[in-house]
Structure 1
Amino acid sequence: MLHEVSFRSFNERDEVQGWIYVPAAKPKGIVQIIHGFGEHSRRYLHMIVAFLDAGFIVAADDHVGHGKTAMVNDTWGDWGEKGCHTMMEDEHTLKELVCEKYPDLPYFLFGHSMGSFIARDYAAKYGDDLAGITICGTCGVFRNADVAEEALKKAVEEGHGKECNPEYAGTLLGWMCERCGEIRIGNEWICADPYVQTDHAEDPFDAFTKPTSNQAMYDFTQMMSVITGIEWAKKVPTTLPIYNIAGDQDPVGEYGKGVYEVANWLCDTGHNVKTRLYSGYRHEIHNYNAIKGDVEQGIIAFMNEVLEK
């Protein structure tokens, strides 16, 4: 069964487009997939099917400025004026909609890349409502974020928030192909498979090739800022199980260093966190044919282990 849902964004402007996938069997839990920057939730169909087959209801939406939500509202790359918690609060609204239809089931989050930032922000505010979270392709202290944040803040304060200056994105993200050899498209850092790269670049629901406003880019740096360090980890309930996964050639996680920074912030504040790095793989470990089944089964095993306790 598939429910299509629409709800008012926290930004008080957009109607967020979402989906609830229900297995043709008695569900044992719910997992909400939170997609990353410049993409959309249908890029996770393989994972959605794996979760359905494992007995989980799956919820997902397209963030403001992204995917079908951007198409419906004509707001590509524009996230609104309500700041860096907008997408997190939208994910909370989606969870409430799902729980109205399917109450009293254990609720998990899976967040990839920017989606992992959102999941971490969510856990700091609403973590008591969750059974567990998986963060995939996350970051610790993100390289150049402080420099880009300062420049973007200045641009927004000077009235250039609605404009798009690619120099800021270059400062923040331009280094990420440094280990990728020959650069053909500019997104090679996501996955070594050229078919995944092309699919990502040519997807009409994908915002990768569309401009992002200076205000949205500033909010993006703020999203990283609010989930950095011990102070963030202290806000996450220590009872919340966390599964932290990434490729060890992922620049977002500084090739493993940033992934372990997050794990250490959590461990140092008394959390139960399991970390796994996939050796030799870049950002989208769930899109490599060789390992995506293993990645999905690892997440399912984590959720099943939580349910068994």
Structure 2
Amino acid sequence: MALQEKSFQSFNQKDIVQAWIYTPIRKPRGIVQLVHGFGEHSRRYFHMILKLNEAGFVVAADDHVGHGKTAYDSGNWSDWGDKGYMTMAEDEHTLRKIVQEEYPDLPYFMYGHSMGSMIARCYAATCGEGIDGLILCGTSGVFPNASSLISILKKLIDEGKGEKIDPTYIEKLFSCMTDRCENPITGNDWICGDPDVVADHANDPFNNFAAPPNIRSLYYFVMMMDTIVGTKWAEKVPASIPVYNIAGDQDPVGQYGEGVYAVSNWLIETGHKVKTKVYPGKRHEIHNYRDIRDEVEDGMIEFINDVLYK
């Protein structure tokens, strides 16, 4: 595996985004752009990245503004800028251009987990041209509490409080996440049923659930959620893009499977080819369960191969 470190100016005109391109030792046969989730960073996907490399794929990944090494280097963990809810999607577009300049003739796939799946869904609806396949992991249907926060947060922004950090609102957004976790030890037990994964998440210095986004950034987050709901969103995604939608059936982000199937149904109703797989008994990070992560990654590679060799 060859590793290139990249950096580029964020769409927010404030941050420098840190990114990486992982190249396999064999001749590459495609690109997978990996879009990580809320409060984490892209190197939590090393197992997946290596598996994709071994299967012959270039992997491109960055750490979003307010996240990971991008935030670690700048010290800015809470402010995503003031350029709107498409900021992270626009940054993914910049990374896509960077990697496709180096590998212009390779098929291109996008994988997004959790908030990353929401970014990928926004992106596919606005810049879907040329995407050969979309993999959504741990995505959400209608996220509970999100729409009710929009007007509240917008009012605070209009009052000049957009840069204020108030954890009350992110706590309200995530208030029901452990409802189905039996005897939860931490507030993040919904992430995975493996306590080692939860502990690793909590101890990772490039993760940061302790520094919530400011009010304006959280507003952008819930606005992004609001734009990817229903067939109104799905019809904006080019029907030529096949979708692989995967999750755990004990994942509160995907409403315990209900939201995951809702997303698939919206896409099917608008003429898309969709494959859905829900893993029984598993929570949010299905790719980090040691007993099924190889199965999850093999399924992704199988989906990509089906697209490439159909």
Q: 2:42 matched to which residue of 1? A: 41
Seq. identity, %: 58
Q: Secondary structure of 1:135's match?
A: strand
Q: 1:255 matched to which residue of 2? A: 256
Q: Secondary structure of 2:129's match?
A: helix
- The CA deviation at 1:158 is 1.2
Q: 2:86 matched to which residue of 1? A: 85
Q: 1:7 matched to which residue of 2? A: 8
- The CA deviation at 1:183 is 2.8
Q: 2:32 matched to which residue of 1? A: 31
Which consecutive unaligned segments of at least 5 residues does structure 2 have? Answer: none
Farther off after superposition, 125-134 or 43-52 = 125-134
Is 1:77–1:207's contact at 8 Å kept on the other side of the alignment? Answer: no
Q: 2:206 matched to which residue of 1? A: 205
Equivalent-residue separation in structure 2 for 1:149 and 1:202 (angstroms): 32
Equivalent-residue separation in structure 1 for 2:118 and 2:159 (angstroms): 27
| AA in 1 matched with 2:204 | D
Is 2:241–2:273's contact at 8 Å kept on the other side of the alignment? Answer: yes
- The CA deviation at 1:181 is 2.1
Between the two proteins, the alignment pairs up a number of residues equal to 309
- The CA deviation at 1:194 is 0.8
- The CA deviation at 1:53 is 0.5
Equivalent-residue separation in structure 1 for 2:87 and 2:35 (angstroms): 13
Q: Secondary structure of 2:180's match?
A: coil
| AA in 1 matched with 2:276 | T
Q: TM-score, normalised by structure 2?
A: 0.98
Equivalent-residue separation in structure 2 for 1:163 and 1:216 (angstroms): 10
- The CA deviation at 1:184 is 2.3
Q: 2:294 matched to which residue of 1? A: 293
Farther off after superposition, 180-189 or 110-119 = 180-189
Q: 1:158 matched to which residue of 2? A: 159
| AA in 2 matched with 1:13 | K
- The CA deviation at 1:166 is 1.4
Q: TM-score, normalised by structure 1?
A: 0.98
Equivalent-residue separation in structure 2 for 1:294 and 1:149 (angstroms): 38
Is 1:201–1:209's contact at 8 Å kept on the other side of the alignment? Answer: no
- The CA deviation at 1:8 is 0.6
Is 2:48–2:297's contact at 8 Å kept on the other side of the alignment? Answer: yes
Equivalent-residue separation in structure 1 for 2:13 and 2:200 (angstroms): 32
Equivalent-residue separation in structure 2 for 1:62 and 1:229 (angstroms): 28
Is residue 138 of structure 1 aligned with residue 108 of structure 2?
Answer: no
Equivalent-residue separation in structure 2 for 1:157 and 1:260 (angstroms): 36
Is 1:248–1:280's contact at 8 Å kept on the other side of the alignment? Answer: yes
Q: Secondary structure of 1:300's match?
A: helix
- The CA deviation at 1:185 is 2.2
Q: Secondary structure of 2:21's match?
A: strand
| AA in 2 matched with 1:205 | F
Which consecutive unaligned segments of at least 5 residues does structure 1 have? Answer: none
Q: Secondary structure of 1:128's match?
A: coil
| AA in 1 matched with 2:264 | A
Q: 2:221 matched to which residue of 1? A: 220
Equivalent-residue separation in structure 2 for 1:3 and 1:267 (angstroms): 38
C-alpha distance after superposition, 1:66-125 (max 9, x if no partner):
011012222102101011100001001001000111111000000000000011111111
Is 2:21–2:61's contact at 8 Å kept on the other side of the alignment? Answer: yes
- The CA deviation at 1:161 is 1.1
Is residue 70 of structure 1 aligned with residue 71 of structure 2?
Answer: yes
Q: 2:283 matched to which residue of 1? A: 282
Is 1:200–1:208's contact at 8 Å kept on the other side of the alignment? Answer: no
Q: Secondary structure of 1:48's match?
A: helix
